Amino acid sequence: MSTLIVDGANVVGSVPDGWWKDRAGAARRLHERLLVADTSYDEIVLVLEGGAKAGVKAGRDAHVRTVHAPRDGDSAIREQARQALAVGGRVVVVTADRMLAANVSPAQVLSPSWLLDQL
């Protein structure tokens, strides 16, 4: 099983396209792109926090599972990585947050620009 965990806030925030005016809309657009992306991952986990949660309902939609962070996104991402690593297989976290990246080991960490290039 291969799992890609996406820090929605980091990916959306990496492109200065006015996302801050419509966080829910930006989250919805990212979710739509993930749904049609041709990736090698069995599951994509999109973690949303704050106002972005209004753009995509929590739950599974095909191979994309959306998680609404109950508190901060970093804690939810760490928990999703922990769960995926416990199951085994390849786990990749997409984030630009260095502190978060240091706390999801042994998962591989890739940048938001890598993901955007895949989409």
* Domains of the chain, earliest start first: 2-118 (3.40.50.1010)
Give the DSSP letter string of 101-114. Answer: HHTSTTSEEE-HHH
Q: What is the DSSP letter of 70?
A: S
Q: What is the pLDDT at residue 23?
A: 93
pLDDT in tens, 67-77: 999 989 999 99
Q: Which two tokens stand for residue 101?
A: 């990246």
Residues contacting 13, CB < 8 A, separation 6+: 19, 112
CA dihedral for 31, 35, 33, 96, sign (positive or negative)? positive
Query: Average per-residue pLDDT in the chain?
Result: 94
Q: What is the pLDDT at residue 16?
A: 82
Q: What is the pLDDT at residue 17?
A: 85
Residue 59 φ/ψ, nearest 5 degrees: 130, -175
pLDDT in tens, 23-68: 999 999 999 999 999 999 999 999 999 999 999 999 999 999 999 9
| pTM reported for the whole predicted model | 0.94
Under a CB-based contact definition with an 8 Å cutoff, are residues 48 and 76 in contact? no
pLDDT in tens, 7-20: 999 999 888 888 88
Residue 89's pLDDT band, with cuts at 50, 70 and 90, is: confident
Helix, strand, coil shares, percent, the chain, to 5: 45, 25, 30
